């Protein structure tokens, strides 16, 4: 299958005053993949995402999203993408059902809260307020809000930070379902195990540069081919596996 780029970034530069946060990066995201931007704090991941989302001005370079230029077609791009809001964006006195109705109204889209909440396994929380949800439920709800306008691409900035192992795995399943239903997913994460498990391709960002871009398996195979060996013998399971095994992996959050 030929891979079609849905996002193209060429020589993107972002300076904040004298400080260069993004130093001429180029990459493509393919239609239908889960693409991960990985790297340490301050690498420039969020800045890059926000420029692609048309929420932040670039200094120079070219970015197209679904064939549209961020300079000329920002409004059209906004209609075709889904972006997670910061938690502060959710009115505290509305329940989930009311919040979804509000978003549908803003987008002018005719969807029922029930169908959106079902997609993210929050049907039984329809009458709960956002602030009363667990960390994993909050993330699932915020992903539901990104899907309201039937986006071609959704952007998830560190969606699993601070979640417990079960909630993380549930979120991975949800993100895979979204990809399998045809939506491209661009995600940032600090968790390398997550990127390895979830992402079809990853780009490592460091100090405003892309230092590598490939599939996780290819990256690992190439490293192993150089004769690299881990210092410690690799165990067949880890403590997280023990935790999941002891506590189960069903949808269950306190
Ligand atoms: P993190 O993983 O911590 O979110 P990141 O890779 O997303 O990091 P960015 O948030 O893109 O990194 O920040 C890149 C660099 O740009 C950092 O050094 C940050 O301090 C700086 N920066 C980000 N936003 C601004 C701003 N509005 N003004 C000045 N500097 C900024």
User: In sequence order, what DSSP letters do the residues of the chain get, joined into one string?
Assistant: -PPPEEEEEEEEEEEETTEEEEEEEEEEEETT-EEEEE--TTSSHHHHHHHHTTSS--SEEEEEETTEETTT-HHHHHHHEEEPPPGGGS-TTSBHHHHHHHHHHHHT----HHHHHHHTT-GGGTTSBGGGS-HHHHHHHHHHHHTTT--SEEEEESTTTT--HHHHHHHHHHHHHHHHTT-EEEEEES-HHHHHHH-SEEEEEETTEEEEEE-HHHHHHHHHHTT---SSPPPSS-HHHHHHHHH--SS---
How remote is the CA of residue 45 from the centroid of ligand 1, in Å?
8
Each residue's pLDDT expressed in tens, for the chain with a length of 254 residues = 678 999 999 999 999 999 999 999 999 999 999 999 998 888 999 999 999 999 999 999 999 999 999 999 999 999 999 998 776 678 888 999 999 999 899 888 889 999 999 999 999 999 999 989 998 999 999 999 999 999 999 999 999 988 888 889 999 999 999 999 999 999 999 899 999 999 999 999 999 999 999 999 999 989 888 888 877 767 788 777 777 788 776 545 54
Listed residue (31, 43, 34) closest to 4, CA to CA: 31
Q: How far is the CA of 46 from the centre of ligand 1 (A)?
A: 7
62: which strand partners?
10
Asked if 189 and 195 count as a contact pair (C-beta separation under 8 A), the reply is yes
When computed from its CA atoms, the radius of gyration of the chain, rounded to whole angstroms, is 19
Please state the atom number of ligand 1 nearest to the C-alpha of residue 17.
29
Give CA–CA dist 8/219, Å, rounded.
Answer: 22
Looking at the CA of residue 43, tell me the nearest atom of ligand 1: 6
Q: Who lines ligand 1 at CB under 6 A? A: 16, 19, 21, 39, 41-47
The residue whose CA has the least distance to atom 28 of ligand 1 is 16
**242 CB-near residues (< 8 Å, 6+ apart):** none
Supply the pLDDT for residue 55. 94
Distance 22 CA to ligand 1 centre (A): 9
Burial of 19 (0-12, 13-18, 19+ CB in 10 A): exposed
Q: How far apart are CA 4 and CA 172, in angstroms?
A: 24
36 within 8 A of 195, measured Cβ to Cβ: yes
CA of 51 from ligand 1 middle (Å) equals: 12
Give the ligand 1 atom nearest the CA of 16. Answer: 29
Cα-based torsion angle of the residue sequence 78, 82, 84, 89 in order, rounded to the nearest 10 degrees: 50
Contact status, residue 254 vs residue 134, Cβ threshold 8 Å? yes
Q: What is the pTM of this model?
A: 0.90
Q: How far is the CA of 96 from the centre of ligand 1 (A)?
A: 31
Q: Which atom of ligand 1 is nearest to the CA of 46?
A: 7
Closest protein CA for atom 3 of ligand 1: 41
Cβ atoms of residues 55 and 61 within 8 Å: no
């Amino acid at each position: 299958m030929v891979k079609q780029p849905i996002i193209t970034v060429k020589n993107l530069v972002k300076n904040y005053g004298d400080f260069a946060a993004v130093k001429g990066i180029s990459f493509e995201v393919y239609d239908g993949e889960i693409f991960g931007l990985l790297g340490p704090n301050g690498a420039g991941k969020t800045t890059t995402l926000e420029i692609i989302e048309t929420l932040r001005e670039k200094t120079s370079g070219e970015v197209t999203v679904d064939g549209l230029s961020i300079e000329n077609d920002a409004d059209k791009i906004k209609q075709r993408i889904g972006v997670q809001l910061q938690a502060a964006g959710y009115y505290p006195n509305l329940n989930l059902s009311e919040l979804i109705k509000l978003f549908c109204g803003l987008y002018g889209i005719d969807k029922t809260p029930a169908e959106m909440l079902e997609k993210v396994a929050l049907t039984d929380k329809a009458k709960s307020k956002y602030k009363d949800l667990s960390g994993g439920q909050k993330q699932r709800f915020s992903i539901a809000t990104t899907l309201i306008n039937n986006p071609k691409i959704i952007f998830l900035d560190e969606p699993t930070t601070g979640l417990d192992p079960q909630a993380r795995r549930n979120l991975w399943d949800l993100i895979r379902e979204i990809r399998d239903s045809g939506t491209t997913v661009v995600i940032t994460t600090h968790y390398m195990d997550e990127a390895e498990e979830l992402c079809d391709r990853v780009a490592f960002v460091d100090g405003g540069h892309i230092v590598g871009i490939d599939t996780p398996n290819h990256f690992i195979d190439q490293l192993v081919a150089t004769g690299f060996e881990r210092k410690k013998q690799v165990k067949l399971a880890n403590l997280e596996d023990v935790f999941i095994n002891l506590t189960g992996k069903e949808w269950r959050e306190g």
